[in-house]
Structure 1
Amino acid sequence: MPGSRADARRIRSVLRWIAGRIGSALLVVWIVATVVFFALRASGDPLEAILGGPGSQAGPDAVARARETYGLDQPLVLQYLMQLWRVATFQLGDSYARHQPVADLIGAQLPGTLLLAALALLLAWALALAGSTIAATAQSRTGWRGPVGRAAVAVLRAVELVATVMPQFWLGAVLILVFAASLRVLPATSSGTDPAGLVLPVVTLAIPIAGFLAQLSRDALLEADAAPFATTARSRGLGEPRVLLHHTLRHASLPALSLSGWAFGHLLSGAVVVESLFARPGLGRLLLDAALSRDVPVVIGAVVVVAVLYVVVVTVVDAVELLVDPRLRSPRTAHAVERTPELAVGS
């Protein structure tokens, strides 16, 4: 039965894909937990955080009891294996400094950080696609050899380059100075509940990512505009707006879409800086405070959660790519698309 054999192959392919993603997730979590554990232990004894921070007047008996209670009297390798077991069984333990369950601390701060990162990614995509559309409009009306087209491309490239290399802490400080201190139209701090307080943090996170995505989209758009499928669409009488929306812009979004998972992970890491700069509660600030106090359970729990989120987002992006580009669903056609990317949207 040819149909049943084809279905079996599809099922095996899906199962291999799922197994690969699960294996990647476990590998990422193990590497992250290992690096964070040994890095924090190399930075100093976590007993200081347990006993109340620098300047603690705890006596020898209290120090000995704390070491025994938290397993710090065991060999370092055994402590590492115990920490891995807690991560594997989702028992993240209690915070050394806050004396609260790590899962509760992360659960309280995670939604705000996810909202911040998601809004920043949406804004970055909007800005990147807007820049690509402006470039396409200049091309269709004047041609890249015309003065207006050359000027538009030069300005877009300069803006993209500046946005890509702009440090987030500097950009955030400038936005606070202009819109909060001078114009007083937006608050300088974000409480996590006021929508106006989200504007500056979201813009601060989004602009560098938007510059990077715009560079990818613009280059892909230029390639797509000269591809045979675009020429064929024009020969069928399609106007430039329809060619842009139905063909070339779709092609231009594919390279940037493939890196959206990386971009989301970058936004989560950038939240450490942005949440501290705007005094916004979130996972980033929790992670920074825990790292400074060597609160090992909180740091490992927060970083592992971020790693898992990164793997999940990358998996979702890969699935979206399969929907956008059906040729990637077959290994044979996927190899052909890699060699000739214009085939991906030529139909």
Structure 2
Amino acid sequence: MTAVVALPSARRPLTAWRWVATRLAGAVFVLWAVATLTFFSIRLIPGDPAEAILGGPGSRATPEALAQVREQYGFNQPLFVQYLNEIGRLARGDFGTSYALKAPVTTVILEGAGNTLILAAVSLAVAWLIAIGLAVWATRGGRVSRAIATGLEIVSAAVPNFWLATIFILIFSIGLHWLPPVSAPGIPGLVLPVLTLAIPLAGFLGQVMRESLLNALDAPFTLSARARGESETGVTLKHALRHAALPGISLSGWAFGSLISGAVVVETVFARPGLGRSLLNAVLIRDIPVVIGVVMVVALVYIVVTLLTDLADRIADPRLRNP
């Protein structure tokens, strides 16, 4: 009887292409859904977009001027027609022109994207460092250390960004005069905004990693490492921590998206220029092209980061790779 031997290598290219195609289709769907929800949500805000273009309620625009603007921007068309025009424009990569700034939305986004992405990336790195420190301390420091670390994780995860930012300003800016209370060039101006975003996220990641690290320290591969004479520090850092980080890596895409969302509050409190502050100002004045453009860019960044975390998962855990 002849045995049939499977050739997994022949299936790898097809599986890889299917994985890429699935991710691309999902990305297109997410971008379409975000654009659709943003378009209809911004139209639910009370007020006339034509009036916003002419300077807001205080501009005292004449009915003739309002009618001309509605005709120029297509506001006199049915809402569904406006939606189709907006989706078609976005599909061509055209974000339009800001109503308030009279500048291309692409320019507005490029001016603020760098600051927000740097803030989110540094905050994510700091959150990971704090989370790893808390998880290792909780698992290696005994019962008292575990209780303290667990309490710190719970409290930090529950702290609102705006409250933490206010406390930091009161202590480190007004009280101790160590750090600037508003945006300033260089590292000093980045410290408080980064900590404001990183600490709540670190509490959440720390809780996830602590449980995974406890399970990893009791797993057979760590027992084998101890039997080979590996020290407890080596077992934790070389073996257990890598496996304990897998759930956190999977959540990093979501975490990065939440950091960009939190940047709306943090950039406003610390008067820091960026996408978050631009988005808030655009919503307040009904600058529809800027709102849709910023939200679309944030969604695109979230998709890219999620894809990278998926790839990192596959690198860190060989079991996720298709045979």
- TM-score band (shorter)? over 0.9
User: Separation in 2 of the partners of 1:133 and 1:117?
Assistant: 24
- 2:189 paired residue number: 197
Amino acid at match of 1:257: I
User: Separation in 2 of the partners of 1:230 and 1:194?
Assistant: 43
- Contact preservation (8 Å) 2:15, 2:322: no
Deviations 1:195-222 (A, max 9, x none): 2100000000000000000001100011
- Report how far residue 87 of structure 1 moved: 1.3
Runs of 4+ in 1 over 6 A off after TM superposition: none
Match of 2:89 among 61, 75, 86: 86
Match of 1:183 among 176, 179, 185: 176
CA RMSD in angstroms comes to 1.5
- Report how far residue 167 of structure 1 moved: 0.3
Amino acid at match of 1:168: N
Deviations 1:313-344 (A, max 9, x none): 0000000111111121027xxxxxxxxxxxxx
Match of 1:253 among 245, 256, 265: 245
Amino acid at match of 2:259: L
**1:146-185 matched pairs, under 5 angstroms:** 149-185=142-178
Q: TM-score, normalised by structure 1?
A: 0.89
Match of 1:235 among 227, 230, 235: 227
1:62 paired with 2:84, answer no
- 2:55 paired residue number: 52
Match of 1:73 among 72, 76, 93: 76
Amino acid at match of 1:116: L
- Contact preservation (8 Å) 1:136, 1:244: no
1:269 paired with 2:261, answer yes
- Contact preservation (8 Å) 2:161, 2:200: yes
Identity %: 51
Deviations 1:260-293 (A, max 9, x none): 0000000000000000000000000000000111
- 1:98 paired residue number: 101
1:223 paired with 2:226, answer no
User: Separation in 1 of the partners of 2:27 and 2:189?
Assistant: 34
Structure 2 SS opposite 1:321: helix
- Report how far residue 225 of structure 1 moved: 0.9
Structure 2 SS opposite 1:43: coil
- Contact preservation (8 Å) 2:222, 2:239: yes
Amino acid at match of 1:247: H
Structure 2: gaps spanning 5 or more residues? none
- 1:13 paired residue number: 15
Amino acid at match of 1:249: L
- 1:36 paired residue number: 38
How many residues get paired? 319
Structure 2 SS opposite 1:72: coil
User: Separation in 1 of the partners of 2:5 and 2:13?
Assistant: 12
Structure 1 SS opposite 2:59: coil
Q: Quick check: 2-11 or 295-304, which moved more?
A: 2-11
Q: TM-score, normalised by structure 2?
A: 0.96
User: Separation in 2 of the partners of 1:120 and 1:132?
Assistant: 18
- Contact preservation (8 Å) 2:267, 2:274: yes
- Report how far residue 137 of structure 1 moved: 2.5
- Report how far residue 7 of structure 1 moved: 4.1
- Report how far residue 13 of structure 1 moved: 1.1
User: Separation in 2 of the partners of 1:54 and 1:176?
Assistant: 35
1:285 paired with 2:288, answer no
- Report how far residue 62 of structure 1 moved: 1.2
- Contact preservation (8 Å) 2:51, 2:61: no
Deviations 1:133-171 (A, max 9, x none): 212322xxxxxxxxxx11111101100000000000000
Cα distance change on mapping 1:123 and 1:60 into 2, 3 Å? same
